[in-house]
Structure 1
Amino acid sequence: MDQVLVSAAKQLEKQLDNEIERLDNLTVDDIDLIREKRLKEMKLRQEKVIQWKANGHGEYSELADEKEFFEVSKKSENIVVHFYRDSTERCKIVDKHLKILAAKHIETKFCKVNAEKCPFLTQRLRIKVIPSIALIKESKTKDFIVGFTDLGNCDDFSTEMMEWRIAQSGAIDYNGDLLTPPDTKKRQTYHNKNKTIRSRTFDSDSDDGLDD
C-alpha cells in the first residue's frame, strides 16, 4: 500500500511539474491568444444568457397546456419539467427545490405542468407517479426522477441532492462529483441507483399514482 501511495504521489508531482513548466514557457503571443479565447467565451456566454432570459430561464414557471410545453421545447435546449397535481403534498417540496435551482442554473428552463390538465403529454411521457420530473436535453427525454426514491427516499432531502440527481441527465451544468450523492448520510439508499433511475414502470408505494 505504501508503494502505491508513493507512486501516486510521484505521478502527481510529475504532472504538477509539467504544468508549471508549460506555464513558465508561455510567450506573450500565447498569453494574448489565451486572453482572446477567454474574451470570446465570455461574449458567447453573455449572448446565451440574454437569449435564455428572453425564453424565461432563471424562473420556475407553470406551463398552461401541452401547446406551451412544445413551444418551450423548441426554444430551450435543456428543460426540467415537474409533473404535479394540487392534491399531492410532495409536489410542494419539489416546487421549493426547483425554484432555487431555476435561479442558479439559468442555462436550463425549469417549469411545471399540471398532470391532470395535460393528459396527452402525461400519457405520452408515461407519467404514472406524482411527483415526477422529466429531464430533457436537445428535445430528447433523457431521464426521469420518479417520486423521491432517487433522492434518499425521504421528504427532507437537500436542494443539493436534487441538483446532483438532475445533473445525472446532463440537463444542467454541474461541477460537483457525479458519483457521490451530497446527502452522504443516506448513501445506503443509492446502492441500487442505476435500476431505479432507468426504471420506466414508475411504481412507488410512497408516492401518488394517477390512476387513483
Structure 2
Amino acid sequence: MSGQEDTEWNDVLRAKGILPPKEITVTEDELNALVDQSVVDYHEKKLANASLDELDELEDDEDDRVLEMYRRKRVLEMQEAASRRRFGEVIQISKPDFVREVTEASKDVWVVVHLFKDGIPACRLINAILATLAPKHAETKFLKIVGDQCIPGYPDRNMPTLVVYGHGEMKFQLVGIQSFPGGQGCRVQDLEQLLKLRGVIEGRAGAGATGGKEDDDEEDAHAPRYNVRRAEKDEDSDSDWD
C-alpha cells in the first residue's frame, strides 16, 4: 500500500472512530495570528459603539494604540455628521448678501430662497413650512429675503416665490402660491416631497450641486411637473438673480 493510500485509509478509520484523531500541529506564527485576531474581535465588539467619553474611561484597561484608533474613528464620524448639518434654520438676508449666500454657496450645497412679503398670508404659510424643514434637513441652506428688496418692483402677486439654486446657478422656481404643491393648502410634507424628488433635501444635498449635467437631466425626468417657471419681473433680465 502506498503512502497516500495509507493516509486515506487512516482518515477513514479516524472518521469511524477506530483510530484517534490526528494530532494537529500549530506553528508559533499561526498561534500568534489567532491570538491577534481574538484581540481584534474583542476590541471590535467592546469598542465599536463606544462614545468618546466611554473610550476615555476605558483608557486604563485597553491598549493605547487600539483606543486611539477608535477615538480617531469616532471623531471623524462626528465631524462628517457635523459637516452635513451646517445650517438648520431659515436665515433672512438682504440683496447685498445674495451673491455670497446664494450663488456662491450653491456651488457646494443646495440653497432654497423664499422671496416673501410681510402681510401676505401665503408667505407666512411658506415661512412656517420652511422653518419646519430647515432643522430637519440641516444639510440644505434655507434663506428668505423680502421680494421687492431682492428685485425692485417685484409684484405682490408673485409672492411667495421659492427659488432653488445648485451648481452656482438657479435650477427652478415656484412663483406664486398656486405654483406650490397643494396651492393655498400646501403642507410641510407636500413641499418636502417636491424638494426630495428634485434631490434638494434628504441626504442628497450637494450631490446635485456638485454633480454633472446628466444628474440634473435625470432628476428633471423624474420630478413632478408643478408650475415651475421664471418669476414675472418688470425688467426681463436674468441679471436680477446674479
SS at match of 2:183: coil
Aligned-pair CA distance for 1:157? 2.3
| Structure 2 Cα separation of the partners of residues 45 and 173 of structure 1 | 14
Query: 5+ residue gaps in structure 1?
Result: 1-27, 176-192, 203-208
> Contact 1:148–1:155 (CA<8 Å) still a contact in 2?
yes
> Contact 2:157–2:176 (CA<8 Å) still a contact in 1?
no
| Structure 2 Cα separation of the partners of residues 165 and 92 of structure 1 | 19
Q: CA RMSD in A?
A: 3.5
Question: Counterpart of 1:45?
Answer: 81
Change (3 A) 1:128 1:79: farther
Aligned-pair CA distance for 1:153? 4.2
Change (3 A) 1:130 1:42: same
Aligned-pair CA distance for 1:150? 4.5
Question: Counterpart of 1:6?
Answer: none
Question: Counterpart of 2:227?
Answer: 196
Question: Counterpart of 1:91?
Answer: 123
Which structure 2 residues correspond to residues 57-72 of structure 1 after superposition, within 5 A?
57-65=87-95, 67-72=96-101
Count matched residues.
Answer: 146
Give the number of the structure whose residues are more often strand, by fraction. 1
2:139 aligned with 1:114: no
> Which of 155, 159, 164 is the equivalent residue of 2:188?
159
Letter of the 2:82 partner, please give it: Q
State the Cα deviation string for residues 102-122 of structure 1 (Å, max 9, x = none).
1111101111111111227x7
Question: Counterpart of 2:132?
Answer: 100
2:180 aligned with 1:144: no
Query: 5+ residue gaps in structure 2?
Result: 1-39, 49-69, 205-223, 235-242
Aligned-pair CA distance for 1:93? 0.6
- Give the fraction of aligned pairs with identical amino acids, expressed as a percent: 23
Question: Counterpart of 1:131?
Answer: 160
Aligned-pair CA distance for 1:101? 0.6
Change (3 A) 1:138 1:152: closer
Aligned-pair CA distance for 1:167? 2.3
Letter of the 1:98 partner, please give it: L
TM-score, normalised to structure 1, is 0.55
> Contact 2:105–2:111 (CA<8 Å) still a contact in 1?
no
| Structure 2 Cα separation of the partners of residues 75 and 59 of structure 1 | 16
SS at match of 1:172: coil
State the Cα deviation string for residues 7-51 of structure 1 (Å, max 9, x = none).
xxxxxxxxxxxxxxxxxxxxx89xx7xx79x965554223443xx
Aligned-pair CA distance for 1:87? 4.1
TM-score, normalised to structure 2, is 0.49
| Structure 1 Cα separation of the partners of residues 226 and 194 of structure 2 | 14
Q: Which has the larger radius of gyration?
A: 2
